[in-house]
Structure 1
Amino acid sequence: MKTLLVAEYRDGRLLGSTYDLVAFASQLGGESAMFLVGSDSDLPQYDGTLYLADSAKYGEFNPSVHKQLLLDVIDKEQPDMVVFNHSSYGWDLAPRVALAMGAAQISEVVDIVDGALVTPVCNAKLRREIKAKTAKCVVTLQAGAFTLSGEPSGTVAVEKIECDAKSLVVFNGYEESEAGGVDLSKAEIIVSAGRGIGKPENLEIIRSLAKALKGEYGASRPVVDSEWAEHNRQVGTTGQTVSPKLYVACGISGAIQHIAGMKKSEFIVAVNTDRDAPIGEVADVLVVADLKQFVPALTERLAG
């Protein structure tokens, strides 16, 4: 299996999600190469060939031009699989490339099982295993679904590339949503609220603990569906997939969709009144207590 990893560059820097691609390729096995429209001032730590186009010349986001640059590399490398992040860049570019290649596209991959790619379906209530019928395929990876076991390492062999493609589109930049862009996949500590907080006012208990731990706060789907928290705070297969160093689940019973989105956290603490809650099966520590009493006491202890 030979894979081509499509890295992303934004606001003059390499995105950390590049290493999700590397982790996926490592789990899949075989050879890999990388494609990037960026700058040699911020290169990935990666053992392999990096095909680098200058973002100052071609722009950080210019789908028609980037597609041609990428197709030129595909023609040279002949990969079995082209891999993108499941991001705005991947959403736009992956279908264009798949169509040009005559390849199958498999979106939002969360796992690999016996050589098959796993994706969520039925509003993430189920997961399916897919194998492409075409000789080649294009895939996108759900954020945080694949992570390196250690720090990135390696030295790339850079091969600079160019093309003559012209674009009629002018990209003016990225604009965050009114609620603000929160990328929980980058957080090292996350404290999440579940239905067990009881009422929206109690979300402040969770926010306070997250602040004391110098982390971010998240939420389960029921909390978001109740409009107690913004959707960009939702953890799970219908929200963000995360893998922080510490994940604290407060009042979260542990629906399969939520667990799928946080089970790769390095250390999981669950606070729940139900000692038999499913979240306890993945937690390293289960605190059987009323979060409305335990969490404020813990926050006060940390502050003191």
Structure 2
Amino acid sequence: MKHLFLVAAAAVAFASCQVKYEKTKSGLLYKITKGKGGEKLKAGEFIKFNARITMPDKDTTLNDTYGKIPGFIVVDTSERAKFSFMELLPQCSVGDSITFNMSIDTLKKLGAIPDYNKIFTKGGQIHGTVKILAVYKSEAEVNAAYQKEMELESDREVKNLEADLKKKGLKAQKTKSGAFVVIENAGDQAAKADSGKQVSVMYKGYLHDDNTKVFDTNMDSSKGHTDPLVLVVGAGRVIKGWDEALPYFAKGGKGKIFIPAMLAYGPQGNQGIPPFSSLVFDVEIKDVTAAPPPPPGMPMMPGMPQEHAH
């Protein structure tokens, strides 16, 4: 497999060498492949685009929006666009593609990176492709387009997760927004983990596509904490997939929760969790009690509590 990656990286590098590049005033090497034509992009407009940014010599992908949520950005003709694909946008129309190569040494010289490191090494190159998908005149238009793309991504993730569970023969119940719950032991139905109840939970969280990558757990001491996680169900103190899935269990209940990325940490990811990662949690409900009244002025923060990052 490593050999195949090296061959692929070499192929990309060779193909890059065959591209006849032009050069911007700032020194960025580029080639624009024209689409169907149309009006040139103007400063202040917003574009939707796909981008794939790689470092072929290191077999590293820095960013890839293809098949995920496209990028959205304002067309900027100021100094801020210097030595980036944004510098080329006024030459482009919707449907055009940009291929570019960036020098790590130049990025350091311009202060875009503070210093060389294991990824950004002296003499290194960044290779990128950008496809311009649409243009919007107003912030309201781009916000609506972004919201639609978020919904499409959520639908894709739910369908993919559902298909994978079916393929594995797992009988899962689907929550309102698209998390999936596999119940191994339902627990004491007289003490259900309903919304508004306080629950104590033992858990182990790992990536859906790699169950060896445990990013957090209190089931053992590997992550530095073994106390049960105490929370009020439905209070918005945990990721949405948890709030929707916990009511399927009761005191003493055990099972698994499968959470698509958009009901977890989405495009941003989190510590130990890459962007667009669907997650799996093994859970055991240790106790279910009435919730205490919240302290005065206590904010209800989204995401998991700080003492348990996930």
Pick the TM interval, shorter chain.
Answer: under 0.3
Higher strand share: 2
Normalising to structure 1: TM-score of the pair? Answer: 0.26
**More helix per residue: 1 or 2?**
1
Please identify the structure whose Cα radius of gyration is greater.
Answer: 2
TM-score, length basis structure 2: 0.25
